[in-house]
Amino acid sequence: MRTDRTCAIPLFGLVVFAFALGASLPLSAQTAAPVTGADVYQKRCARCHDEGVSRAPARQVLQTMSAARILRTLDFGLMMAVAYPMKREERVAVANFLGTPGDDAPTSPKNPCAAGMQPLSAASAANWAGWSPDPSNNRYQNAEQAALGMAQVRHLKLKWAYGFAGDVTSFAAPTVLNGTLFVGSAGGLVQALDAKTGCVHWTFPANGPVRAAILPVHNGSSYTLVFGDLIGWVYALDAKSGKLAWKKRLEEHEATRLTGSAVALNGIVFIPAASWEETRSTDPQYECCTFRGSVTALRVRDGSLVWKSYMVDTPQKTGTNSVGVPQWGPSGAPIWSSPTVDTKRGLLYVTTGDNYSVPATSTSDAVIALNLKTGRIVWTQQTLANDAYTSACRNKGVNCPSTNGPDYDFGSSALLVHAPNGKEILVAGQKSGVVHAFDPDAKGKLLWETRVGTGGINGGVQWGMASDGQKVYAAVSDVSAVMNTAGPVGGATFDPAKGGGLTALHLEDGATAWFAPSHPCDPPKPGCSPGQSAALTLIPGVVFSPSLDGHLRAFSTEDGEMVWDFDTATTFSTVNGVPANGGSIDGAGPVIAGGMVFVNSGYPRNGGMPGNVLLAFGPE
Ligand code: HEC
């Protein structure tokens, strides 16, 4: 089923929208002369692709590729670091300028499921549906649904591997529902696979890369799948056929980026929004910054709006940067992670990232409770004030705000946990390396704080903790070096012994129960770091922690003893015949359902090892 990618790539599917906010937004967004692909090529690509810079294919080679493929390379392929400062319009223009019309993605998979084999038809339902099996975001799979215990984990074996054609990144959060696995990809292809064998039921081409979990929402007779992509589109598909029910842009801002998975309640989905604006700002000509973090509540039925809540006020012009380009604020407070549903209190909790420009707001680096019905902010607990930052700060760029960071976002969800003392608490881990616990019955009053890592721009707790109601488990990234913005992604030189580590904390007081140190890269290799940035996954007795070194490891929740280890940074033969290899594991953690463990491997962003594989493990 390939419907959207026709000839030249339209910008946002032909809708070149005007900002609804009118006069208060940058002129460049409204009236600037249209960019031409030739100009963009000269400015951003020619210095390598016309000059024979090592390994860079010549312009003539790029001209044999499809425009859609070149765009994917800029969005989430080898050139994504080069493209950080580029606006959507510029990416589309240069892709159309260079590439051939049409697409080069495979139209039919090599391993379709047998005729008559229907999605969602497994005899027993074992599900991990969305970012977490439960809307409290504990990332804990119970014994019945997991169908996997410590004894089996010790003997997990690879059952099948699936390759994402043409991709160098494999970072999406899988969802498992009634025997079918739904997963997005860097190339923007959403796939419905048989969880047991990896055969393909259907694929759906999204407009941009999809890394958020595909959320199934029951609709009476079947399920509707809801998810966002990394260029700001939200989709609803029929789970059985993969047919599009509706799609829409969540935000008007061109830099919108949807990483956080949606959650649903009573036919309404809540979708968080983050952005690329931090990296757009490395261009001194960029009018920094106008993106505002938000949550949007939509009816699953038709995508109509229930409410929208912004984390900062409408940005106003605040002056100019040192090269005379207008500056705007407040901005930022993006939401990178999945919201947490609290039906008992009628609240939706989100965690926010930093501001991008001054004035800084009280809603950045915060845990925020919204009214589920109206979206109104009920309370805000900020853990770090005055954290305004853009990627321009890394190289003393002109679009670095005066506060200059430290960029201690919350990148992961808050967990609503039943502690052993009978109390419910909210636990959130921050890039600062600190885990915080809040009282949901006292407007988020701070209960305890424990440092589990050093913290940093790509440091501390990044993508997600997990809790079994006894302890909370937090792994840290703490990688030694960050983001290569000069050339192709991947292969950075990290300190092979620095970073990572997994800590178990008691829920009552945040005291450390145990600490499992990280494993140095052995042997050290480009793109390898011991950092444990990806989200954790729990079943009774076992916590899984993937690493940037490519290993997926499992630890006993009792004492942190390592009970299983698999190195994914190698080549695999795949069920769909696509050449594939694993690399760093980052972003989404594994998901576990029906006795199987699924994990994506390959994450060259920030310098890690590339890869394009989805792996499925089961007991011997
Ligand atoms: C700093 C140098 C540099 C710049 C600037 C640069 N590239 Fe590249 N590009 C490379 C290199 C090197 C490779 C080959 C990477 C490899 O094979 O590992 C490459 C590969 C590519 C590929 C092939 C990717 C693939 O998946 O096979 C495309 C398409 C591409 N570049 C497009 C662009 C476009 C469009 C621009 C401008 C917006 C650009 N590049 C700017 C160095 C650069």
pLDDT in tens, 500-511: 999 999 999 999
pLDDT digits (tens, 9 = 90+) for 572-589: 999 999 999 999 999 999
Same domain, 326 and 214: yes
Q: What pLDDT score does 373 carry?
A: 98
* Gap from CA of 91 to ligand 1 centroid (Å): 13
Q: How many domains does the chain have?
A: 2
Distance of CA 337 to the CA centre of its chain: 7
Distance between CA atoms of 150 and 154, rounded to whole angstroms?
Answer: 6
Looking at residue 487, its pLDDT comes to 67
Predicted confidence at residue 14, as pLDDT, reads 33
From the alpha carbon of 83, which atom of ligand 1 is closest? 38
42 in any annotated domain: yes
User: Which DSSP string do the residues of 80-140 spell out, in sequence order?
Assistant: TTTTTT--HHHHHHHHHHHSBSS--S-SS-SSBPPTT--TT--SS---B-SSSSSTT---B
Q: For 548, phi and psi rounded to 5 degrees?
A: -65, -15
Residue with tokens 């990232």: 353
pLDDT grade, residue 32 (50/70/90)?
low
In the reported structure, the alpha carbon of residue 57 is separated from the centroid of ligand 1 by a whole-number distance in angstroms of 7
The predicted structure's pLDDT at residue 106: 59
Whether 164 maps to a domain, the answer reads: no
Q: Give the residue among 483, 391, 486 at the shortest CA–CA distance from 82.
A: 486
- Would you state the pLDDT for residue 362? 97
Longest dimension (CA), the chain: 67
CA 161/CA 577 separation, integer angstroms: 10
Which positions ≥6 away from 416 have C-beta within 8 Å?
136, 137, 138, 340, 342, 349, 424, 425, 426, 440
Let me know whether 81 and 191 are in one domain. no
Residue 453 lies in a domain: no
Cα–Cα distance, 485 to 283 (Å, whole number): 12
Last residue in a domain, options 98, 125, 143: 98
Model pTM score: 0.91
Q: Across the beta sheet with 180-183, what order do the strands follow? A: 175-177, 180-183, 189-194, 200-205
Three-state SS for 452? coil
Does residue 575 contact residue 199 with C-beta atoms inside 8 Å?
yes
Q: Sheet of 551-556: strands edge to edge?
A: 537-539, 542-546, 551-556, 562-567
The pLDDT score that the predictor gives to residue 494 is: 87
- E-assigned strand segments in 117-214: 156-163, 175-177, 180-183, 189-194, 200-205
Asked if residue 616 belongs to a domain, the reply is: no
Q: Which residues line ligand 1 (CB under 6 A)?
A: 44-45, 47-49, 53, 55-57, 62, 65, 70, 73-74, 77-79, 82-83, 94, 486-488
Residue 244: give its domain's CATH number: 2.140.10.10
* Distances 6 to 73, 101, 207, 579 between C-alpha atoms, Å: 18, 7, 11, 26
Residue 385 lies in a domain: yes
- Quick one: tokens of 162? 């699936």
Q: How many CA atoms lie within 13 A of 270 on its CB side?
A: 27
Beta carbons of 568 and 544 less than 8 angstroms apart: no
**Structural contact between residues 328 and 316, judged by C-beta atoms closer than 8 angstroms:** yes
- Averaged pLDDT score across all residues of the chain: 91
d(CA 609, CA 584): 5
Q: How far is the CA of 89 from the centre of ligand 1 (A)?
A: 18
Distance from Cα 59 to the centre of ligand 1, integer Å: 10
DSSP assignments along 429-441, one per residue: E-TTSEEEEEETT
**Residue 417 has which token pair?**
């946990």
Task: Band the pLDDT of 24: cuts 50, 70, 90.
Answer: very low
Question: Are residues 56 and 191 located together in one domain of the fold?
Answer: no
Q: Does residue 209 share a domain with residue 92?
A: no
Could you give the strand order of the β-sheet that contains 366-371, starting from the edge strand earlier in sequence?
A: 340-342, 347-351, 366-371, 377-382
Helices 88-98 & 67-76, crossing angle to 10 degrees? 140
pLDDT > 90 in the chain, percent: 77
Looking at residue 22, what is its pLDDT? 32
Based on the fold, state whether residues 61 and 200 are members of the same structural domain: no
Mutate to test the pocket of ligand 1, among 47, 49, 578 (most ligand atoms within 8 A of CB): 49
Burial class (CB in 10 A: 0-12, 13-18, 19+), 219: middle
Tell me what pLDDT residue 396 has. 85
Asked whether residue 56 is domain-assigned, the answer is yes
What pLDDT, in 10s, does the model give residues 287-304?
999 999 999 999 999 999
Residue 161 counted as domain residue? no
* Domain encompassing residue 74: 22-98
Of residues 138 and 80, more confidence is placed in: 138
Q: Based on the number of CB atoms within 10 Å of its own CB, is 3 exposed (0-12), middle (13-18) or buried (19 or more)?
A: exposed
pLDDT in tens, 202-253: 999 999 999 999 999 999 989 999 999 999 999 999 999 999 999 999 999 9
Half-sphere exposure at residue 216, Cβ-oriented, CA atoms within 13 angstroms: 26
Residues 248 and 404: their CA atoms lie apart, in Å, by: 35
Of 214, 159, 161, 156, whose CA–CA distance to 189 is shortest? 214
CA of 41 to the centre of ligand 1 (A): 11
Residue 472 has pLDDT above 80, yes or no: yes
**391 in the same domain as 253:** yes
Task: State pLDDT tens for residues 406-422.
Answer: 999 999 999 999 999 99
Strands in 494-533 per DSSP E: 502-506, 512-516
- Residue 209, domain member (yes or no): yes
Instruction: Copy the structure tokens of residue 581.
Output: 């290899």
Indicate whether 221 and 322 sit together in one domain. Answer: yes
Residue 99 has pLDDT above 60, yes or no: yes
Stretch 519-548: mean pLDDT, rounded?
A: 95
Over the stretch 103-152, which tens digit does the pLDDT of each residue have?
776 556 789 999 889 999 987 789 999 999 999 999 999 999 999 999 99
284 and 392 belong to one structural domain: yes
DSSP code at position 394: G
> Which ranges of 154-272 would DSSP assign to H, the alpha helix?
none
Alpha-carbon distance of 456 to 476, in angstroms, equals 10
- pLDDT at residue 18 above 60? no
- The three-point CA angle 238-241-246 to 5° equals 35
Q: Which ligand 1 atom minimizes the distance to the CA of 86?
A: 38
The per-residue pLDDT for 319 is 94
Q: Name the residue at shortest CA distance from atom 27 of ligand 1.
A: 78
- pLDDT higher than 50, residue 391: yes
Helix axes 88-98, 37-44, angle to 10 degrees: 100
CA of 54 to the centre of ligand 1 (A): 10
The last residue of one of the domains, among 393, 411, 429, is 411
User: pLDDT-derived band of residue 78, with 50, 70 and 90 as boundaries?
Assistant: confident
How far is the CA of 193 from the CAs of 109, 203, 576, in angstroms? 11, 9, 11
Domain boundary residue, one of 79, 98, 117: 98
